[in-house]
Structure formats: structure tokens, C-alpha cells
Amino acid sequence: MWAGGAPHHRTRPIPGWISRPTFSRDVTGRVCRCWANRSNRPDEFGRPIVCGLGNLTRRAWWLEWVRLLSHRGEIMTHLIAIPVYNEERHLEKVLAEVRRYGEHLLIIDDGSTDATPRILEGISDVHVLRHSNNRGYGAALATAFDFAVQSDFEVLVTVDCDGQHEPARIPVLLEAIHDACIVSGSRYLRDFKNLTLPTPEDRRFVNQTITAELNAALGLSLTDAFCGFKAYRRTALEKLRITETGWGMPLQLWVQAARLGMRIKEIGVPRVYLDPTRSFGGALNDADQRLQYYRKVIADAMNETSAPCPDLFDCWNLASVPST
């Protein structure tokens, strides 16, 4: 699971649990096993429970598992960040789902002009950062990165608020990050049997084109360059210098991560499209304009970033990584 091609590893199953293998993929194209742990004893509703924890709700079960493993040093503390812009339709539903998998939530309101600010004012269990005006998707994530770097959390998980990410996959991200610097969801790594609208053809074409060009330039094997469902180690975020404020921000991130030799891994996530009318806005609604913009972001990032680091980035020992 190394960007440079070192042998992959397998997450150690938790004693006393039945471990069901799922699959992830490193950026060199190697398929590797992760372990989705389930108890051998379901409750009366058929839900898996942790041995000795009793019949808990799904949220309570997950949070108790996190506390237990954190105490044993087997899972890292995590913050879940959600960038939002005019998400009054999806915000409350997404928050309700995300709360099942984390106690610490950060919302970055990127200058919303609908009912989103009013909804957030009535929510007391999340930390909210607000941009006075709409600065862009990349700017919202950069704000989340800055907050995470200054915190004590070991991992930052990012989830979009448009209903396209399934929070139930958060545990898979957290499990996969044990031997990676960045774990990214991929909507094209595998197919899921989920009911959703078909992927817009222009989006699939642009994604495949840019992902292929990015792989060729950086020597990676990503299958989805744009998925916002990710987990980052804080030590990796400390080395990134994100300046791209728009939709092309993930491309700048990949260039920097690859040049630093970071360990990158993908996990499969479902493709979910709920609103066929959702747009990028302005000139970027045109696929050719998006391609031109994305290629410029990659070219600028390549010019701004130093030559590839000869050694793999060590998320645990930053002293061995040269400063940028």
C-alpha cells in the first residue's frame, strides 16, 4: 500500500471478532485486503454488536467501538469535516447520518445564502466555521485542513453535503488509513448494487480523462481523481500547501502528495447521483471549459511543486521529510 510499490499489509483482525475481508486498492494498482470487523453475535434485529457491549443502537455501538479501540491504541482519533454551500435540502439528513460515525463534527459554511446558516444556528453539537462570502470548494476544504492541523485529532475525514457520499463507509476509511497518509474514495474502483441516477456522461468523461492524465504525469494509478470522500492523517495535512480555491483543488492536492511520496490508497464507494440539474456554475458547466481549467491546475501545481521526493513520506516521523 505504498506509493512506491512496497508490499501491502493487512489490518490485524480484532481478537474475538469475525473478520470479513473487503478490498481496497493502492495507487500502484495492487488490490489489497482490508478487514471489516463484525461480531459473531447479532442482536435481536440482526445487527452486529461488540461482544460485551450489549444491544446498543447503531450510533452508540460505533462510538463505543471507537472509544474502546482508541483506548487500546488500535484506532486513531478523528474529526469529520463537511463543506457546505446552499445545502438546505440535504444538510440535516447528512448530519443525522454522519453523527453515527463520529462525535466531533466540523461544518465549513462557504457563504451560503439560503436557509443553511439558519439551520446551523439551531445545531449545538457541531463546530461551525463561516466564510463571509462564497470562496469555493477548495477554499472550504483548505479551511478544514487548517483547523485539523491546529487540532489534536490524528485523522480528518471529509464528506460532501450533497447526499452523494454514504457516511456508513466512514469506518472503512478509518480502517484503511492505518498504513496510508491519504485514503480516497473511488466511485469507479468497483460497482455497487445501489439505486441511483446514471452518471452524467460529461462528468464521467472529464473524470476519466483527467484521472488518466494525472496518473501519467505522476506515476499513480488513481481511478477517481475528484471524489471528496477522503481520510487524511494530520501529519500529511501539515505538509500540504493548498492554494487552489475552486473545484480543481483535488488535483493540486494529488500533485503535492505524489511529489512528497505520500502513501495513497483508494477504497471503493458507491456512485450516487441524486440531482441531475446540479451544476458547477458559470463557464465550468461546459465540459471543454472544465477540462481546460483542470489541466491548468495540474500544470500550475507541477510547476509550483519541487521535484519528487526520493524517499517515501513518513507520516509517523516527519523529521525525515524535507521541508517544502
Over residues 271-304, the pLDDT tens digits come to 776 666 666 777 888 889 999 999 999 999 999 9
User: How far is the C-alpha of 23 from the C-alpha of 88, rounded, in Å?
Assistant: 35
pLDDT at position 1: 36
156 within 8 A of 229, measured Cβ to Cβ: no
User: How far is the C-alpha of 284 from the C-alpha of 276, rounded, in Å?
Assistant: 16
Which grid coordinates belong to 273?
447521483
pLDDT at position 53: 39
Main-chain phi, psi angles of 140, to 5 degrees: -65, -45
Nearest to 109 by CA among 90, 87, 78: 87
203 within 8 A of 254, measured Cβ to Cβ: no
User: How far is the C-alpha of 269 from the C-alpha of 105, rounded, in Å?
Assistant: 21
Query: For the chain, where are the alpha helices, taking DSSP H only?
Result: 58-71, 91-98, 116-121, 137-149, 170-176, 201-218, 234-237, 249-259, 287-304
Nearest to 226 by CA among 165, 301, 177, 302: 165
Main-chain phi, psi angles of 201, to 5 degrees: -60, -40
pTM of the predicted structure, to 2 decimals: 0.75
Conformational region of residue 157, where left means phi above 0, alpha means psi within -120 to 50, and beta covers everything else: beta
Q: Are strands 155-158 and 78-84 parallel, antiparallel or unpaired?
A: parallel
User: How far is the C-alpha of 93 from the C-alpha of 271, rounded, in Å?
Assistant: 18
- Integer distance in angstroms from the first to the last C-alpha of the chain? 24
Which grid coordinates belong to 221?
494509478
Task: Give the domain ranges of the chain.
Answer: 76-315
The fold of the 76-315 domain, in CATH, is: Spore Coat Polysaccharide Biosynthesis Protein SpsA; Chain A (3.90.550)
* Maximum separation of any 2 CA atoms in the chain, in Å: 59
pLDDT at position 235: 96
- The predicted-structure confidence for 51-104, as pLDDT tens digits, reads as follows 333 444 555 555 555 555 544 455 689 999 999 999 999 999 999 999 999 999
Residues of the chain with pLDDT under 50: 1-22, 28-56, 70-72, 318-324
pLDDT at position 108: 98
Q: Which residues contact 209 (CB under 8 A, 6 or more apart)?
A: 291
